[in-house]
Amino acid sequence: MIGAGPAGLTATRNLVHAGFRVDCYDSQHEVGGIWNFLNESSSIHESTRMISSKRLTEFSDFRMPREYPHYPGHRQAFEYLKSYAKHFNLYPHIQLGQSVESVRLAERAGQADSTERSWVVRTNRQSEAIRYDGVVVANGHHSSPLWPEIPGLRANTGSGERFAGEVIHARDYRSREILRGRRVLVIGAGNSGCDLAVEAANYAKSASISMRRGYHFFPKYLFGAPLDRCGENMHRWKIKSVLNGSVYRWITKMCLLATVGKLESTGLPAPDHKLFESHPIVNSKMVDCVRNGKLKVRRDVRRLDGHRIDFTDGSEAEFDLVICATGYKPSFPFLDPAFATSRLVLNMFDPSIEGLWFIGLIQPDGGIWQLADYQSQLLAKYLQRRQTEGHDNRWLDSLISSGATGSPRHDRTRYLASPRHAFEVDYFEYRDRLKTLIRKLH
């Protein structure tokens, strides 16, 4: 197991519960992954809160405390993850302070002159490599920053253009103290970018956000309940499956008009895509900041020179701090660089590689922890059945393959073609597929 964040912890718990021996490696000195704010590689900041509610985020067999708010803060999330590891006695299976440096496929002689595959794993603290029958990758995908390509942003372009202020990625933003007294531009309007734009609007000298396109904004609460709980009820009552797609969009749009208002009237650009074609932005506070003039919306950045930043609409302004909330890229430095995640079935299984599985490599419009729990339950059932069925496992592999029709993005929903949607899944549809496969493997 590589990683002891939420995905690695639930995968360790479910595999150990299924009777497998598990060694989990994590480079940090405590579990929790990015939710450990003291972890220097964490990508959260001081005021980070979840954007999925606790009931649709918590693991299936370990509820979050009753006293937690609907949307827990990062400290509560971290305490929950540590409690989960203690409750299920996972610490003896976890090697903290050890980073995996390489994972490679090897072959070993089996019985009757047959050849069995194994995986050779090397860490930074072990003199000899260790062989495993399989490797689970659960190292997350919110740690390796994706930087925008803008002249003058990070290096001298050769024409003398270079930003004279400070440039950081959202990953390195830790506290609002960096904002005080400064003219701040946030580049990127994902959930992190919008959160940071709200912070800048409240604590910086001036605040702007650069948006490539318009997005649909959702409130955290709808009819007094957390947004995703409303989605859960609609899913349970099969409203989405019964209604025509355009009718369902129209109803949702009316709800958003009633709660968030018409975005174009606030100064935000109109969305250039239909509802549910992009990852949802759950942040009505930013709409309020734009509406009351505390946050200025700007178009794409064209170039940076000195303190001046030029935008594609011909406007310009001066800034002291630029925060690039432009997302992350998956990083697996321990694997062969030729490895491609695009061929993964259910974002978990590579049909061409035996014994390598991924947990948590998804971007759902809901809580990722709970889906990682179901992923690891499926993996545990799958491995148990492979053991009991003997060598003829073609029906198992066929069953798993049938769980992802066409594309890992699930063809019932069309997403915009952009890096942020590479691992996008519909929370409820994906959860249903996982639970159906788990039942079939019982």
Last residue of a domain, one of 324, 345, 369: 324
Among 112-121, 187-196, 222-231, where is mean pLDDT lowest?
112-121
Which tens digits make up the pLDDT trace of 90-123?
999 999 999 999 999 986 544 444 446 799 999 9
Q: Report the predicted TM-score, pTM, of the whole model to 2 decimal places.
A: 0.92
Count of structural domains, the chain:
2
**Do 307 and 346 share a domain, yes or no?**
no
**Do 47 and 183 share a domain, yes or no?**
no
Name the band, by pLDDT with cuts 50, 70 and 90, for residue 417.
confident
Tokens of 254: 């009316």
| Greater model confidence, 111 or 269 | 269
Which tens digits make up the pLDDT trace of 237-263?
888 788 888 898 999 999 999 999 999
Domain presence at residue 76? yes
Name the band, by pLDDT with cuts 50, 70 and 90, for residue 406.
very low
**Do 362 and 425 share a domain, yes or no?**
yes
| Greater model confidence, 307 or 408 | 307
**Do 303 and 335 share a domain, yes or no?**
no
What per-residue confidence (pLDDT) applies to 392?
Answer: 63
* Percentage of the residues of the chain whose pLDDT score is greater than 90: 69
**Do 47 and 77 share a domain, yes or no?**
yes
What per-residue confidence (pLDDT) applies to 387?
Answer: 85
**Do 344 and 264 share a domain, yes or no?**
no
Give the up-direction half-sphere exposure of residue 50: CA atoms within 13 A in the CB hemisphere.
29
Domain presence at residue 123? yes
Across the range 308-328, mean pLDDT stands at 96
Which tens digits make up the pLDDT trace of 10-52?
999 999 999 999 999 999 999 999 999 998 888 999 999 999 9
Domain presence at residue 126? yes
What per-residue confidence (pLDDT) applies to 339?
Answer: 87
Domain presence at residue 385? yes
Check if the beta carbon of residue 106 is closer than 8 Å to that of residue 118. Answer: yes
**Do 302 and 366 share a domain, yes or no?**
no
Domain presence at residue 239? no
Across the range 354-372, mean pLDDT stands at 94
* Percentage of the residues of the chain whose pLDDT score is greater than 70: 92
> What CATH number should be reported for the domain holding residue 179?
3.50.50.60
Check if the beta carbon of residue 56 is closer than 8 Å to that of residue 366. Answer: yes
Strand partners, 140: none
What per-residue confidence (pLDDT) applies to 405?
Answer: 45
Last residue of a domain, one of 292, 324, 356: 324
**Do 347 and 295 share a domain, yes or no?**
no
Domain presence at residue 306? yes
What per-residue confidence (pLDDT) applies to 407?
Answer: 43
Domain presence at residue 233? no
Domain presence at residue 161? no
What per-residue confidence (pLDDT) applies to 301?
Answer: 96
Last residue of a domain, one of 272, 300, 324: 324
What per-residue confidence (pLDDT) applies to 14?
Answer: 98
Among 84-88, 96-100, 200-204, 403-407, where is mean pLDDT lowest?
403-407
Name the band, by pLDDT with cuts 50, 70 and 90, for residue 156.
very low
Distance from C-alpha of 416 to C-alpha of 142, rounded to nearest angstrom = 20
Residue partners of 114: CB distance under 8 A and separation at least 6:
none
**Do 393 and 431 share a domain, yes or no?**
yes
For residue 183, give Cα distances in angstroms to 167, 288, 289, 327.
12, 20, 16, 22
What per-residue confidence (pLDDT) applies to 441?
Answer: 87
Across the range 221-249, mean pLDDT stands at 89
Q: Could you please report the per-residue DSSP string of 389-431?
A: HTT--HHHHHHHHTTS-S-TT-TTS---SSGGGTTEE-HHHHH
Name the band, by pLDDT with cuts 50, 70 and 90, for residue 155.
low
**Do 393 and 284 share a domain, yes or no?**
no
What per-residue confidence (pLDDT) applies to 157?
Answer: 43
The residue type found at 207 is A
Phi then psi for residue 27, to 5 deg, are -70, -20
**Do 188 and 45 share a domain, yes or no?**
no
Domain holding 355, by residue range, is 6-143+329-440
Closest C-alpha among 163, 160, 124 to residue 147:
163
**Do 376 and 278 share a domain, yes or no?**
no
